[in-house]
Amino acid sequence: MSYYDIDAILTDAQKVPCIFEITIPGLGYLEGNSNTDIKQGTRVELPLWLAEMLGVSQRLGTEQNVVTLDLPPALAPRIQNALKANPCTVDLRSLASHYYSLGERILGLLEEDELVDILSETFKKRAAEIADHAHNPQGVISSGGEFLKGLDENERQLFKTAHESAKAIRTFLSDRNNIKKSYTQI
């Protein structure tokens, strides 16, 4: 991940629910109140980059964490249950355009063993479906359009790569057959 990576920047901009553990003077604007303090126990959605810095502040020498992080709505238990039931029916793009990147970053901050398993299984099952659509373009037109609209950025890249490789293999096999035909004519 590079400093200039647009996907990383967009992932960092995702909102994460946080609860302030201490009162902080002058930060009321984070909840829409200018010139006020942010009180202990206040629940605010912060960009991931800021929530991460405040959430790990205890490790940096403060007495306690400034905020406690919660799972973002895209990774909430309701979504996890839907992914366990049938991951191919969930529109990940509407939840977060960089869904797996968000999950990866959150898992680096929170210990959620079940979420690791759910995201892994989701990616495996959806990757198989993506490969099927990439190798069978006619099927995409008739039945897979809705599924493809719901792909997150990593899945879109996977689809593009799988589609281009399937196309290259068909071209290679076609060229190979044409060469064989020309040799047999000689």
The amino acid that residue 141 corresponds to is: I
Q: Is the pLDDT of residue 86 over 90?
A: yes
**Whether residue 56 sits in one domain with residue 18:** yes
**Whether residue 82 sits in one domain with residue 57:** no
pLDDT of residue 61: 58
* Domain range enclosing 53: 1-70
**Whether residue 97 sits in one domain with residue 55:** no
**Whether residue 158 sits in one domain with residue 135:** yes
**Whether residue 113 sits in one domain with residue 91:** yes
Average pLDDT, whole number, for the chain? 85
Alpha helix ranges (H) inside 43-152: 48-55, 77-85, 92-95, 99-107, 113-135, 137-139, 145-149
Domain limit, last residue, from 46, 70, 94: 70
pLDDT of residue 182: 61
Pick from 159, 163, 161, 143: nearest CA to 151:
159
**Whether residue 95 sits in one domain with residue 65:** no
pLDDT of residue 141: 53
For the beta sheet containing 15-20, the strands, ordered from the edge strand earlier in sequence to the opposite edge, are 43-47, 15-20, 67-69
Range name among 2-16, 85-99, 171-185 with the lowest pLDDT average: 171-185
pTM for this entry: 0.81
**181 pLDDT band (50/70/90 cuts)?**
low
Domain limit, last residue, from 23, 54, 70: 70
Task: Give the angle subtended at the CA of 163 by the CAs of 128 and 152, to the nearest 5°.
Answer: 60
Task: Give the angle subtended at the CA of 124 by the CAs of 123 and 130, to the nearest 5°.
Answer: 80
**Whether residue 131 sits in one domain with residue 59:** no
Q: Is the pLDDT of residue 34 over 80?
A: no
Average pLDDT (113-139) is 88
For the chain, what is the domain count? 2
**Whether residue 54 sits in one domain with residue 105:** no
**Whether residue 98 sits in one domain with residue 61:** no
Domain limit, last residue, from 70, 88, 104: 70
pLDDT of residue 28: 78
Which value, in Å, is the radius of gyration of the alpha carbons in the chain?
23
**Whether residue 53 sits in one domain with residue 101:** no
Q: Is the pLDDT of residue 94 over 90?
A: yes
